[in-house]
Structure formats: C-alpha cells, structure tokens
C-alpha cells in the first residue's frame, strides 16, 4: 500500500471534498421545506439545462461503465462496443416520449413511472408490478457502482470491505439530508474529472505506446490467437445479431429505469429535456473513447489483479501515469459511483413510498410522511446494495445487472407505449408482464458459459439453436422476452374487450401530454421560495 500512498491521498482528499459538497447541497437552491418528494426526491422540479445535462449524464454513464466497457473490449473485442451505439440511438427514440411523460407528470404530480401507470390504466395492481420491477432491476445496478470503487481500491492495494462500507455510509448520510440536490451538485465535479482524465488518456497513452496502428495491431494479434469464437476487433457472423439486439434492447431499457426518469422529471420544462436529448450524445463520444482504453491495455501488456477484469483500466492508469494523476483518475471513477448510486437509491425509494407504502399501507400519508419514508427507504436500499457486494460473488452481481435489463424491459408496454396509446387493456398488460417476465427468466436460465463453468444465468446472449434453429447465432434475451410480452398483452386485450371485462379509468387527458412551464395547471408544482405548496 505504501507504494500507492500518493494515489491514496489524492483519492481521499477529492472524495472528501465531494462528500462535503453533498452535505452542503441541502442549502443549494434551498426551498422553504425539503419535506416532500417534489423537493427531496426531484430537487423541486426546477433544474435547468446545464444541471440536468450533468445530472442525467452522471446518472446514465456510471462508474461501472467506465471500468466494465474497456474491460469487455480487453477480453472480448468488438462486442464491447455495443454500449456506444445503444447510447446514441436511445436519444432520438426517447425524445418525444420523455417530454410527454414530463408534461403529464407535472399536471398530476407524478413522481414515479408507476404513478403514471396507476392513473393511465386505473390499475393499482399494474402500478405495483411496475414499481416492484423498477426496484428489483435497480438494486443490482446500485451494487455494481461498488464494483467500480472496489476495482480502484484494489489497484491502490486497499483490501477488505471496510473502505466501501465507509464510502457508502457517507453517501447514505448526505443523500438522506440533501436528496436529489446532492448528486446534482456532485455531478459537476464528477463529469469534469472524467472528461479531463479521458482526454489526457487518449492523447498521452497512444503516444507512449507508439500510435494507434500499433494499438490495433496488438489487439488483433491477441484475438487472432484466442480460441473464443466471438473475439476480434471486428464482429463475426455469429455475434452480429447479438450485437444489434443487445444494443437496441439496452437502448429501450435505459430510460425505463426509474433513476433515468427521476433525472428527467426534475427538469424545469420541456425545452430543457429537448436540449438535453440533443446534447447528451456528447457523453457517447466520451464512452467510445473510454472503450478504446481496453485496446490500449492490450498494447501496454496490462494484466488484471487476479481474475478481476474490472481492474484493467485502473491498472492501465497506474502503469502509464505519474502517481498524482493516477490518484485523480481513481477519484474520477470513485466519485463517478456516487452520483448514479444516489439517484438510483432515491428513485427506488420513491417507488416504494408512492406505489407500495402510500397505496397499500398508509393512504393518508402527507408530503412530510412521504419524504420521511423515502429517506429511510433510500438508506435500506444502500444497505442492500452493500450486502450484494459483501455476500455475493462480484461476477454474479454483474450477471444480475444483465438480468436487470431483461426485467425492466417488461415495463415498456405500460410505461412507454402507455404514453401514446390507451388501447391496451389493463388485464392484457398484466398478462403480458407475467408472460414476458416468465419467458425472460426461462431464457436466462438456459444461458450457460462453458468458460466459467456456469450453467445458468451466465449472460444475456441466448443461443438460437436452443429454439431448434440450425445456427450458431445468439440473440439478446430481453428482446425475445419483450416480444412475448407484447404478443400476450395484445391478445389479452382483444380477449378482454371481447368479454367486456371491466377496464380501469384513465384520469389523464390528451392535452395533459403537452403542458409546459407556465401552464396554470402546473402552477401548484412550483416549489421556488415563496411559491405555494402543491395540493
């Protein structure tokens, strides 16, 4: 550990500075009262373009992304680039969806996607399923932020779980106090550090290694000698379908996650969302550069610590940079875990409070009650995330995140499609959710990995030969499960309509999906100092 003393000092100082900002955030843009979900959980719904850009970017491009994507390129080649196109195609797809969600949410005071589903389809049961789905899919995602911190700590020679527990205890404390304002303020520092580190890395490391030609040549040599059929700096015939469906399915899933929606609902108006959907692809450019660190690590001869491939990028930085700058890079990754982890825990807590606690436990809960329950739940969510790291194998946690994408996709018919059409019957949507979730779990159960010896839940690439097709191609399990969901939901709707089954009341109206800041119907959601509280 002594040889990494400079790195540890720089990392610790930056981490403590950012943590201090988290506590100070409670006084930043301070409202009259933080005791409501609109204030604690959505920052007063008042964030402008810059704050939202940093917040949503910091939310979607996580610490785990910064270590996992390059590690995937280092080990599996071009397949790891799936993260780049999926974070590009997502923004045009959700551009129109999110502004509709923002408007209807501000008219009705929705805090979660399940709130919208409850009002749109008049079904507490469907809303409960959406809420549970969001919580279950988010939990491993929070745990994986710890994987990023753990990779950095390992690279500095810091072992044991105590440092991670301390880091998350600090995170829990300032999130409890400041709510969404904490990650919004910290995101400025996190993203600035990440951009500096990556821009320096893509200039300095290739120069030290002898240029990009040599980097790609070394990568090709490694993969040419690999027995794994999917490896290479280019895709082959067998993994192209998996690449396309994984990128598309991941894109569909990204803004269904409750933490993604939380950042959007905190925006001041529809124009803020439009500007951000146009500007956020800048992060995808950064992600592409980050991914190339995997090939740089091959050319540099970097090896992971033990069998933990997630340590590849930290080890590369340690190998190529002076200790002080390596400490800055490590801090960028570590701080990069705090922003998404905070938003994810807030989003999961809001789902529990609004759609489980208030719906089924205390229907008379007021603003202060909701805020108190969400604060406490956010603490429990973080404890659960730490428990995942302490008691589960890290590799298993990573598989859980892949499963999380398949799970959250099952909310697409009721949330995303529900913003545009009320054609689906609530009974059909519930049947579709059950069918899609069952199909997804069955598909994932039948995915093994001979390399690791895991027979079940070993990834998300489902072999088409298991469906009786004569091919070695694989496909993203989430796409197949979603297809089952949509077919069953459509058939269930037709049957329900034919039987004249009772449907829920839609309490939204077409013009609710176009309301914007200044509309008199949303004036009660203005939480600026001196404004009236929401009713």
Q: pLDDT tens, 110-154?
A: 999 999 999 999 999 999 999 999 998 888 788 888 888 888 888
Residue 290, in any domain of the structure = yes
The band of 228, judged by pLDDT with boundaries at 50, 70 and 90, is: low
In this predicted structure, what is the pLDDT of residue 530? 37
Instruction: Report how far Cα 288 is from the mean position of its chain's Cα atoms.
Output: 18
Q: pLDDT tens, 424-477?
A: 999 999 999 999 999 999 998 888 877 667 777 777 889 999 888 888 899 999
Q: Return the structure tokens found at 332.
A: 């960028």
Which residue, 26, 141, 116, is CA-closest to 351?
A: 116
Separation between Cα atoms, residue 19 and residue 15, nearest integer Å: 6
Q: Residue 398: which CATH number?
A: 1.20.1730.10
Strand 474-476 and strand 461-463: the pairing is antiparallel
Residue 317, in any domain of the structure = yes
Residue span of the structural domain in which 19 resides: 2-410
Residue 330, in any domain of the structure = yes
In this predicted structure, what is the pLDDT of residue 143? 80
Q: Return the structure tokens found at 201.
A: 């890395």
In this predicted structure, what is the pLDDT of residue 80? 85
In this predicted structure, what is the pLDDT of residue 431? 97
Q: Return the structure tokens found at 420.
A: 């545009």
The band of 11, judged by pLDDT with boundaries at 50, 70 and 90, is: very high
> What pairs with residue 449 in β-bridges?
454
Separation between Cα atoms, residue 367 and residue 206, nearest integer Å: 54
The band of 528, judged by pLDDT with boundaries at 50, 70 and 90, is: very low
In this predicted structure, what is the pLDDT of residue 75? 86
In this predicted structure, what is the pLDDT of residue 525? 42
The band of 529, judged by pLDDT with boundaries at 50, 70 and 90, is: very low
Q: pLDDT tens, 229-277?
A: 667 888 888 889 999 999 999 889 988 999 999 989 999 999 999 998 8
In this predicted structure, what is the pLDDT of residue 345? 92
Instruction: Report how far Cα 344 is from the mean position of its chain's Cα atoms.
Output: 8
Separation between Cα atoms, residue 188 and residue 196, nearest integer Å: 12
| CA–CA–CA angle 455, 460, 466 (5° rounding) | 65
Q: Which of 22-31, 261-270, 292-301, 389-398 comes out lowest in average pLDDT?
A: 389-398
Rounded to an integer, the average pLDDT of 282-295 is 89
Residue 439, in any domain of the structure = no
Output phi, psi for 528, to 5 deg.
-65, 155
CB atoms within 10 A of CB 279: 16
Residue 510, in any domain of the structure = no
Separation between Cα atoms, residue 519 and residue 509, nearest integer Å: 15
- What's the structural domain count of the chain? 1
499 three-state secondary structure: coil
Q: pLDDT tens, 80-96?
A: 888 889 888 888 888 88
In this predicted structure, what is the pLDDT of residue 394? 61
Residue 440, in any domain of the structure = no
The band of 490, judged by pLDDT with boundaries at 50, 70 and 90, is: very high
Q: pLDDT tens, 383-431?
A: 887 887 777 666 555 666 777 889 999 999 999 999 999 999 999 999 9
- Helix, strand, coil % (nearest 5) of the chain? 75, 0, 25
Residue 154, in any domain of the structure = yes
Instruction: Report how far Cα 384 is from the mean position of its chain's Cα atoms.
Output: 17
Contact assessment for residue 58 and residue 190, using Cβ atoms and an 8 Å cutoff: yes
Residue 130, in any domain of the structure = yes
First to last CA, the chain: 56
In this predicted structure, what is the pLDDT of residue 524? 46
Q: pLDDT tens, 198-224?
A: 999 999 999 999 999 999 999 999 988
The band of 32, judged by pLDDT with boundaries at 50, 70 and 90, is: low
């Amino acid at each position: 550990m002594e040889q990494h003393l400079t790195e540890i000092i720089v990392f610790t100082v930056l981490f403590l500075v950012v943590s201090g900002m988290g506590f100070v955030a409670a006084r930043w843009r301070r409202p009259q009262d933080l005791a409501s979900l609109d204030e604690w959980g959505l920052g007063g719904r008042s964030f402008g373009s810059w704050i939202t850009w940093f917040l949503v970017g910091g939310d979607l491009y996580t610490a785990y992304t910064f270590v996992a994507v390059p590690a995937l390129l280092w080990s599996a080649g071009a397949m790891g680039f799936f993260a780049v196109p999926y974070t590009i195609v997502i923004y045009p797809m959700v551009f129109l969806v999110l502004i509709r969600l923002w408007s209807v949410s501000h008219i009705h005071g929705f805090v979660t996607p399940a709130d919208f589903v409850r009002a749109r389809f008049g079904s507490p049961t469907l809303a409960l399923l959406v809420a549970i789905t969001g919580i279950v899919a988010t939990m491993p995602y929070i745990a994986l932020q710890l994987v990023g911190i753990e990779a950095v700590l390992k690279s500095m020679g810091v072992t044991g779980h105590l440092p991670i527990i301390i880091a998350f205890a600090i995170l829990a404390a300032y999130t409890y106090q400041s709510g969404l304002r904490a990650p919004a303020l910290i995101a400025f520092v996190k993203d600035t550090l990440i951009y500096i580190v990556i821009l320096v890395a893509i200039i300095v490391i290739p120069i030290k290694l002898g240029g990009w030609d040599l980097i790609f040549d070394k990568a090709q040599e490694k993969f040419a000698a690999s027995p794994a059929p999917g490896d290479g700096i280019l895709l082959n015939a067998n993994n192209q379908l998996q690449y396309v469906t994984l990128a598309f399915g991941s894109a569909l899933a990204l803004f269904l996650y409750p933490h993604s929606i939380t950042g959007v609902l905190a925006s001041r108006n529809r124009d803020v969302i439009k500007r951000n959907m146009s500007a956020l692809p800048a992060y995808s450019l950064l992600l592409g550069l980050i991914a190339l660190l995997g090939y740089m690590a091959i050319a540099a001869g970097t090896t992971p610590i033990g069998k933990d491939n997630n340590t590849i990028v930290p080890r590369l930085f340690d190998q190529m940079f002076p200790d002080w700058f390596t400490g800055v890079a490590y801090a960028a990754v570590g701080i990069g875990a705090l922003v998404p982890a905070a938003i994810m825990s807030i989003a999961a807590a809001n789902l529990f409070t609004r759609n489980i606690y208030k719906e089924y436990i205390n229907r008379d809960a007021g603003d202060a009650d909701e805020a108190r329950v969400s604060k406490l739940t956010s603490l429990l969510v973080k404890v659960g995330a730490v428990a995942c790291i302490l008691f589960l194998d890290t590799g298993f946690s990573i598989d859980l995140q892949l499963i999380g994408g398949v799970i959250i996709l099952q909310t697409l018919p009721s949330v995303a499609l529900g913003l545009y059409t009320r054609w689906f019957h609530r009974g059909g949507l519930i049947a579709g959710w059950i069918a899609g979730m069952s199909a997804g779990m069955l598909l994932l159960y039948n995915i093994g990995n001979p390399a690791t010896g895991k027979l079940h839940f070993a990834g998300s690439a489902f072999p088409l030969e298991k469906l009786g097709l004569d091919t070695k191609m694989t496909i993203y399990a989430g796409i197949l499960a979603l297809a089952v969901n949509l077919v069953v939901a459509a058939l269930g709707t037709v049957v329900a309509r034919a039987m004249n089954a009772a449907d829920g009341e839609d309490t939204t109206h077409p013009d609710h999906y176009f309301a914007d800041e200044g509309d008199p119907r949303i004036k009660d959601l203005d939480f600026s100092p001196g404004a009236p509280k929401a009713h």
